[in-house]
Amino acid sequence: MKIRTLSPKAIKDKAVIIRVDYNVPIKNGSIGETTRIEETIPTLKYLLKNGAKRIHILSHLGRPKGQKNPDLSLNIVTPVLEKLLGEKVEFRTTYTPGEGRIQLHENVRFFEGETKNDPEFVQKLLKIKGDIFVNDAFGVCHRAQASVVGLPIFLPSFAGFLLEKEMEHLSPFLSSEKMSGLTVIVGGAKIETKVNVLKHFSRTAENIIIGGALANTFLAAQGFDVGQSFYEEEEIGTAREVLDMAEKNKTGIHLPIDVIVAENIEDTQTLDMPIEDVMGALKIFDTGRRSIASYAEIIQHSKTIIWNGPMGCFEYDAFENGTKEVLRMVSAHKKARTILGGGDTLKALKKFNIDKSSFTHVSTGGGAMLEFLEGKDLPGIEALMIRSQEPN
């Protein structure tokens, strides 16, 4: 994949519109985790160092569904951005140029035209009067939206350093060949968002560990009673298809052999029981200790580990152990290449105080990471391909 990359010549004396992903978690009016902001700083500093006349930052926050929502205003990012850059940032409520060298514009998803890639909204964004466009928002590259694919039609367009880094770390796994020592850990809830990546790695990985509510559907597909746990009955056939593919390609699928259960998620009284004993009103909320111990051996012998999605409801202390222990095992495996992704994964890193530098790469994308690994052409990356633009 050849995309146009930044150079001093492209930047000097230019007004730059840069799309970033500042969709950070907000709790009680404060930003809970800043990785997505931190990861854009190298590109922003490069633009400043190489003479950008102005920098106009576009992003979304949350799901305002085309309505202005003060609780989802990007102004909350301004002080964090100023601290990380060591520069004054002007917050703009409109898509017009202001006076500051660095300008952060309001949430693009306050307008329906953003998610619909409405040409009229693209023209509204062009009133910022940018000379070039930079995409440093890997997390939204799978979205064909106005600020992602609309602007590159009208402006010379480049990949930022974060987008380049994501592609560099993830591209090797697009191969259809079996990869020795590759373990893929997939958690979360719904099979729909994970099925294609599971099918891909059912052919190429040596081992796949499945956790979270996603594992419940696979357990049900194997004939286990999951009590009143969340699972997708309509996706049992899909789960069986993945299991059959893995068996055909000699890829080990590893599901919990024991689980942490309770009657509801607020319970502090829990039981760790074999999966065969789950029944009645019981609900599975985490992976059991014997399962974690069995995963430890797999992880220890892995050369590469890719992880997307938690092992259970880690936000609740009673059900945090599975995610916490697997995170610790992966972070401690210094001889392996380790790649993590997904918003919940970032939250878990913060909750359990595990440094991101413990891993080879922590992706800022969740859905984008999965779709990239499936081998899909992501619209945001396709819009930057050199073949569709004039050469540098």
Helix (H/G/I), strand (E/B), else coil: 16: strand
Tell me the CA distances in angstroms from 53 to 10, 42, 49, one per residue in order.
Answer: 12, 17, 11
pTM comes to 0.88
CB atoms within 10 A of CB 67: 10
Q: Given 130, 309, 343, 380, which residue is catalytic?
A: 343
Q: Given 62, 66, 98, 367, which residue is catalytic?
A: 367
- Is the pLDDT at 92 greater than 70? The verdict is yes
Mark whether 36 is an active-site residue.
Answer: yes
Query: Percent of the chain beyond pLDDT 90?
Result: 89
Beta bridge partners of 308: 186, 341
Question: What is the distance between the alpha carbons of residues 168 and 5, in angstroms, rounded to a whole number?
Answer: 13
Q: What CA dihedral angle connects 41, 159, 392 and 8, to 10 degrees?
A: 0
Closest by alpha carbon to 72, among 106, 115, 47?
106
Tokens encoding 290 = 């014997």
Q: Is residue 88 left, alpha or beta, with left meaning phi > 0 and alpha meaning psi from -120 to 50?
A: beta
**Would you list the DSSP string of 250-297?**
TPEEE--SEEEEESSTT-S--EEEEGGG--TT-EEEEE-HHHHHHHHH
Mean pLDDT, to the nearest integer, of 264-282?
95
pLDDT band, very low/low/confident/very high, at 366 (cuts 50, 70, 90) = confident
Question: What is the distance between the alpha carbons of residues 332 and 310, in angstroms, rounded to a whole number?
Answer: 18
Tell me the CA distances in angstroms from 24 to 103, 266, 344, 365, one per residue in order.
Answer: 18, 26, 11, 12
Q: Given 19, 36, 324, 347, which residue is catalytic?
A: 36
**Residue 389 pLDDT:** 43
Mark whether 343 is an active-site residue.
Answer: yes
Q: Given 101, 116, 190, 290, which residue is catalytic?
A: 190
Q: What is the mean pLDDT of the chain?
A: 95
**Residue 387 pLDDT:** 53
Which residues in 93-110 are b (16+ Cβ under 10 Å) and which e? eebebbebebbbbbbbbb
Question: What is the distance between the alpha carbons of residues 95 and 91, in angstroms, rounded to a whole number?
Answer: 11
- Is the pLDDT at 388 greater than 80? The verdict is no
**Residue 28 pLDDT:** 86
Phi, psi for residue 147 in degrees, rounded to 5: -80, -5
Per-residue pLDDT reduced to its tens digit, 310-329: 999 999 999 999 999 999 99
Per-residue pLDDT reduced to its tens digit, 209-253: 999 999 999 999 999 999 999 999 999 999 999 999 999 999 999
- Is the pLDDT at 160 greater than 70? The verdict is yes
Tokens encoding 317 = 């202390």
Per-residue pLDDT reduced to its tens digit, 36-67: 999 999 999 999 999 999 999 999 999 999 99
